[in-house]
Amino acid sequence: MMIRASRLAPLIAAVVFSSAHADDVQVAVAANFTAPIQAIATDFEKDTGHKLIAAYGATGQFYTQIKNGAPFEVFLSADDTTPQKLETEGETVKGSRFTYAVGTLALWSAKEGYVDAKGDVLKKNEFKHLSIANPKAAPYGLAATQVLAREGLTDKVKGKIVEGQNITQAYQFVSTGNAELGFVALSQIYKDGKVTSGSAWIVPASLHDPIKQDAVILNKGKDSAAAKALVEYLKSPKAAAVIKSYGYELAN
């Protein structure tokens, strides 16, 4: 039976479309990396045909979910210790772990001019509420507590701390006015070389341990072409440019 060209073209297009979108990759993404991975996902799908399906949350919570059998194939953590621990416990593909970004902490207020460039507003301690992410689950929350300790402010601000489950919630407390200021990931308030809203102090890296963020392929992704493609894509110059545009540093 002869198939006319007019009918054949849609069939070919359907086959090409199906092939290009055949592989999905399930990714657990640290909340601080939400905006960059959304930008990267668009290019990743366009360039490789694979589709990235992301879940966002706190690194510590993802660890528990992964140990309980969550269907994630790739993990983009907010630290390097959690992926290393999963690796030691046999939950990852050997040789797949690498540092995809080095995070920067910021003290931020939704109010223009509220936070000065040196962070003196923190030392003045005239605010009523200070938002941070849960330091037991979120590396940016842990970094915030280290800053407070090194500045000698832990006891002074203890009664003012509002704790979010993850860095997204910590940001929301400030953006909605429930806290005058808070420690957030620079990537949440920064794009292309400038703070996009409110006022902020970019916290010197010397005031807390390095926030090295590691990616790793989990056992559920060991046979996934999309998982391998994503990890390689994150190492590409195109992805690196996006990552840097949100205020992250790249690992040496």
For residue 201, what is the enclosing H or E element?
Answer: strand 199-202
The tens digit of pLDDT for each residue in 164-220 reads: 999 999 999 999 999 999 999 999 999 999 999 999 999 999 999 999 999 999 999
Neighbours of 238 (CB within 10 A): 13
- DSSP label of 95: T
Name the one residue in this structure whose structure tokens are 């794009």. Answer: 191
The predicted-structure confidence for 215-245, as pLDDT tens digits, reads as follows 999 999 999 999 999 999 999 999 999 999 9
Q: What is the largest CA-CA distance in the chain?
A: 83
Q: What is the mean pLDDT of the chain?
A: 91
CB-CB neighbours of 81 under 10 Å: 14
Tokens 């002074």 appear where?
156
Domains defined for the chain, CATH in brackets: 5-102+210-245 (3.40.190.10), 105-202 (3.40.190.10)
- pTM of the predicted protein model: 0.84
Q: How far apart are the first and last CA of the chain?
A: 61
Quick count: other Cβ atoms within 10 Å of Cβ 180? 20
**How far is 189 from 12, CA to CA, in rounded Å?**
44
